[in-house]
C-alpha cells in the first residue's frame, strides 16, 4: 500500500528529489490549470445567465453584459490553458 511507506523508502526519496528539481515550474503549472478549470466551469453558468437575462427577461443589455463576461472567461480559459502547457512542459524537461 502506497500510504504505508516510510519517508526513507527509496521510491519516496526519488519522488521528492525529482519534484524538488522542478518545484516552481510544477506549482505554476498547477496554478494555471486551476485558473483554466475555474474559467472553463464558469462559462456554462455565464451562458445560462445570458440567456436568462436576454431572452426570458427581454433585456438585450443584460444578455450583452453576460455575453461579454462569457467572452472574458473564454479568454481567461485560453490563457490558463497556454500557461499550463508552458509550465508543465518546462517542468517536464
Sign of CA dihedral 40, 42, 45, 49: negative
d(CA 82, CA 59) in angstroms, rounded, equals 35
pLDDT tens digits for range 47-66? 999 888 888 878 888 888 99
User: Where in the sequence is the domain holding 83, given as residue range(s)?
Assistant: 29-93
Tell me what the pLDDT averaged over the chain comes to. Answer: 89
In a domain, 51, yes or no: yes
Domains identified in the chain, total number: 1
d(CA 53, CA 57) in angstroms, rounded, equals 5
Question: How many C-beta atoms surround the C-beta of residue 5 within 10 A?
Answer: 11
Residue with cell 519517508: 7
What's the predicted TM-score (pTM) here? 0.74
Amino acid at each position: 500500500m502506497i500510504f504505508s511507506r516510510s519517508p526513507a523508502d527509496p521510491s519516496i526519496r526519488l519522488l521528492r528529489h525529482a519534484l524538488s528539481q522542478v518545484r516552481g515550474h510544477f506549482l505554476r503549472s498547477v496554478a494555471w490549470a486551476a485558473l483554466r478549470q475555474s474559467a472553463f466551469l464558469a462559462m456554462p453558468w455565464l451562458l445560462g445567465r445570458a440567456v436568462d437575462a436576454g431572452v426570458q427577461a427581454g433585456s438585450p443589455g443584460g444578455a450583452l453584459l453576460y455575453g461579454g463576461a462569457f467572452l472574458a472567461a473564454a479568454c481567461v480559459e485560453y490563457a490558463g490553458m497556454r500557461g499550463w502547457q508552458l509550465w508543465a512542459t518546462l517542468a517536464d524537461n
